[in-house]
Structure 1
Amino acid sequence: MQRRLFALTALASLIGLSACQKPAGTTASPASANAPATTPTAAASTAGANDPAISTAQDAYVLAATGNGFSTGPIMSSHTAYVFFDTTCPHCAHLWQNAQAVAGQLKVVWIPVAFLRPQSLSQGATILSAADPIAAMNENEASVANHGNGITVAASLDDEVIAKVKANTSMFKQLNSDSVPLIVYRNGKTGEVGQHAGAVTGPELLALVGL
């Protein structure tokens, strides 16, 4: 029992080192001073803040598939992982960089959330609404990895895109996670469905989905 407890504690420590959590006593604002106010219609589409938490891994995978994001990798891939990320999270930047090495083998849907800082909302919306979301993501993650402030927020952001990031954030909260990046996956070999909090290497990402 002591050995098992030690193993679990060690695992928790590793996850803590590879994921970003909000500092105790702080909250991430659902809006930003640079973000436009949402209309009643857009606000309605973000409903879910009070939705019950997802109780099964299968439900979590199905829910993640409805997130608002952009994808990398083969469009028709039979293996898909969903990653909830925050634009201000350095561990998310590491996962993005690591995933590039296996981009030809796995489809990953990147879902921005407003979790860590107020600017996460407007930066996530900027990436999501970009003409080339992958290029915008590259710009943001390269900046964050080098201790920068991330992508410059677009001068004008559509209310609907802001609403999508808010909806993603509500969804993220339903998944009972308190850190990013959050990977939601299904293993093609075993059928196992699960979640992993924290950055992983490219080969580890493939292993999660059974490749």
Structure 2
Amino acid sequence: MKTLPFLAASLLACTLTLTACKDKADKPAGTAELPARTTPVSIESIAREARGFTVGAAVSARTIYVFFDPQCSHCATLWNEARPLKAQAKFVWIPVGLLNASSTPQGAALLAAPDPVAAMDAHEESMRKKAGGITASGELDTLKKAVELNTKLLDRYQFNSVPTIIGKNAISGDVVIKEGALPTAQLAEAFGLKPPVK
């Protein structure tokens, strides 16, 4: 009987460590403590320096920034979990090249798309089918550099995984930083949004 609580706690711990993608060069989750941030996170700096695409209420006073890697399955989960909240906030999706050689060109292709949201939907569908995602084509050097700068911005703030979500809580005004995919209800709670009606 005492093993049931232990198994439940172990399952929860494993689940919490598997909600984000990490750079392959990093140590596995849980093997080291996260370093203290030497550079304070600045939403204003992210807004000014990052290159991304907007999903949701374009004129919303609430902006939530999402650093993601196109090859990250947890980022795909967050893409879907954030959908029900797009009427309440502007989500700016910022591609980075963290996980493999396809990440940067695919991030550039998403930025180059006439409709990045439709391109991201097509990309995620391709990833779900294990088809590798969208194909980067054309002259994308400038946008590849933008993705590389996004990746350096991610590194500057010492974020350790993707997706990384940054914004202000709509109620308290506090800066909120979350690493990993969150279910819709937890995402709403973290950023002071109304949970979607079921």
Which TM-score band (shorter chain)? 0.7 to 0.9
Task: Output the CA distance in 1 between the equivalents of 2:25 and 2:96.
Answer: 19
Q: What residue identity is the alignment partner of 2:156?
A: Q
Which residues of 2 match residues 68-107 of structure 1 at below 5 A? 68-107=51-90
- Of 98, 113, 117, the residue aligned with 1:115 is 98
C-alpha offsets along residues 158-182 of structure 1, whole Å, 9 cap, x if unaligned?
A: 3221111111010010121121000
Scaled by the length of structure 2, the TM-score of the pair is 0.80
Q: Kindly report the root-mean-square deviation, in angstroms, between the aligned alpha carbons of the 2 structures.
A: 2.2
Count of residue pairs brought into register by the alignment: 174
1:146 and 2:129 are equivalent in the alignment: yes
Scaled by the length of structure 1, the TM-score of the pair is 0.75
C-alpha offsets along residues 39-88 of structure 1, whole Å, 9 cap, x if unaligned?
A: xxxxxxxxxxxxxx65324x2x2222121000011111111110000010
Pair 64,25 (structure 1): closer, same or farther in 2 beyond 3 Å = closer
Per the alignment, residue 4 of structure 2 pairs with none
Pair 169,73 (structure 1): closer, same or farther in 2 beyond 3 Å = same
Give the 3-state SS of the residue equivalent to 1:65 in structure 2.
Answer: helix
1:196 and 2:197 are equivalent in the alignment: no
Percent of pairs with identical residues: 37
- Of 168, 173, 176, the residue aligned with 2:158 is 176
Per the alignment, residue 20 of structure 2 pairs with 19
2:109–2:140: 8 Å Cα contact kept in structure 1? no
Q: Any unmatched runs of 5+ in structure 2? A: 1-9, 28-36, 194-198
Task: Output the CA distance in 1 between the equivalents of 2:181 and 2:166.
Answer: 12
Q: Which moved more, 1:72-81 or 1:158-167?
A: 158-167
